[in-house]
Amino acid sequence: MNTRTARGILMTALVAGAFGRAEAQDPRIGNRLDAPSRKALSALVDSARAQGIPVEPLMEKVYQGLAMGADGSRIVVAVRSLTVEMANAHRVLGAVATTDELKAAASAVHAGVPAVELGKMKKQSGLRRSLTLPFTVLADIVSRGVPVQTAANAIRSLVGAGAHDRDISEFQRNVQVDIEKGAQPKAAAETRVKGAVTTPAARPEKREQE
Amino acid sequence: MPDWTRTTLELIVQELQQPVRVDESFDRRVMVRVRRMQAERRPRGAAGWVGAAVNLSRRPAYAAALAAGVVAVVTVGMLRSRPQTVAGSEPIPVQFVLVAPEARSVTVVGDFNNWGLGDTALVAENHNGVWSVSAPVPAGVHRYAFLVNGKQWVADPTAPRAAGDDFGQPSSALVVEGTPE
C-alpha cells in the first residue's frame, strides 16, 4: 500500500469520525466545531464524495480554518466554496485528473480563472502532462494582478511549447520579482512568457534528463 | 452523459490519436528482429533472406499488425505512467526558510501536517534571523504558512501564493514532485 492510498483510507476514516458520531470525533477537531457546522460539513463531504470529488482537500481546508482561528460558519463557507470549485474543475478536467490537479485547478478557479480555460489546457497537454504546477502558477500570477486572460494565455503558451515544470516555476519567479520591483503585472507576464517559451527549446540537453 | 465523462473520453481519444514517436533506429531494429525470425523458419542462405524481405514488403497487413501492437503497448505504458504513480512515491525532504530577524519563534504548518493540529507543527531553528526547518513532504500540491511568534501568519515570500485567503490570512503553495515508483 503506497503513501497516497494509506492517506486516502485514513482521511476517509477521519471524515467519517470527524463529522459523525460525537464519540468518534477526530481529536484534531474535537469540540472546536459547533454541531450545525459539523452537520453542514458532513453534508458537503457526502455531496463531494457522491460527485467523485476527493474529500481530502476539504478536510485540509477544515484544518486550515481551525488553525487560523476561524469560526465554524466561516469554515463551512470556505469548504462549500472549495467543493464548488473542485466540482467545476472535475467537470472540465475529467476523471483522468489527479487529486493534486483538481486541488491546483480549484485554486485557479478561486483566483478567477474560468474552469473552461483549464479544460482547454488539459486537452492541449493530453493525459501524460500533469498540470498541477501550471495551475498553481496560474493561480499565483492572477492573485498578483495579472489579468486572467493574459495569465491563461501565458500558461497555455508555456504548456503548448513543451515547457517543463522548472521552466514554469522560473517564469513565476521572474514575474513575481518584476511586479515587486514595480512592473505592471500584465507587462511582466507578457514579457517574461516570451523568454520562457523560447528558452526550453534552446536547452534540449536539459530536457532529456527528465 | 456527464461533462466529466465526456471530457475523460475526449482526453483518452486524443491520447490514442497521438502519433507514436520512436527513435531513428527503431525501423532497423524491428527489421533485424523480423529477419531473424523469418530466417529461423526458412532454409538458411541468400535466397531465404531475400525471400523474407520481399515477403514482408508485399504484405502490409504485417506492418499494420506490428504498428497496432506498438500503439497498444505504448498506450498502455502511457496510461500506466500517469501522474498518480508519482503521487504515491516517498516523501521528499523540503527546506522551509523565513528571514525574520525580529521573530522569537517560527513554525511551519500546512496541508502536509494537518496545519499543526495535534502538535504537528514544524519548529524552525534560528540562525541569526534566518529561520529554517527541513521535513519530508509527500509528493503533491500543498498549502502552507509560517506562524511567527505563535500568532502572526506569514506567507513564504519565495513561493507561489495560494489563491484565496479564505480565513483572512495569507498562505503559500508548494508543489512537491515525486519520483516514479
Lowest pLDDT segment from A82-91, A145-154, B17-26, B161-170: B17-26
> The complex's ipTM?
0.83
Closest residue in chain B to residue A176, using alpha carbons only? B160
At which of A71, A93, A115 does a domain end?
Answer: A93
Write the pLDDT tens digit of every residue in B72-124.
Answer: 444 444 433 333 334 456 899 999 999 999 999 999 999 999 999 878 899 99
φ, ψ for residue B3, nearest 5 deg: -60, -45
One domain, residues A145 and A114 = yes
Compare A108 and B65 and report the one with higher pLDDT: A108
Residue A140 is nearest to which of B5, B166, B173, comparing CB atoms? B173
Tell me if A68 sits within 8 A of B153, measured CB to CB.
yes
CB neighbour burial string for B119-138, b if at least 16 within 10 angstroms, e if fewer: eebbebeeeeeebebeeebb
**In-domain check, residue B181:** no
- Cβ within 8 Å, pair A60-B5: no
- Per the structure, the complete domain to which residue B31 belongs is given by 3-82
Interchain proximity A64–B166, CB inside 8 Å: yes
Beta-carbon separation of B78 and A68 below 8 A: no
> pLDDT by residue for chain A (210 residues), tens digit each?
455 555 555 555 555 555 654 434 677 777 889 999 999 999 999 999 999 999 999 999 999 999 999 999 999 999 999 999 999 999 999 888 999 999 999 999 999 999 999 999 998 888 789 999 999 999 999 999 999 999 999 999 999 999 999 999 999 999 999 999 999 999 999 999 998 876 554 454 444 444
- For residue A129, CA distances in Å to A97, B6, B84 come to 10, 19, 11
Residue type, A210: E
Number of A–B residue contacts, CB under 8 Å: 165
Instruction: Give the residue carrying C-alpha cell 507543527.
Output: B121
- Cβ–Cβ of A52/B10 closer than 8 Å? no
The answer to whether residues A209 and A173 belong to one domain is yes
Total count of domains within chain B: 2
Whether residues A10 and A86 fall in one domain: yes
Nearest Cα of chain A lies from the Cα of B167 at a distance, in angstroms, of 6
Question: Last residue of a domain, which of A93, A121, A141?
Answer: A93
Same domain, B74 and B133: no
Please tell me the total count of domains within chain A: 2
Same domain, A206 and A104: yes
Predicted pLDDT at A74? 96
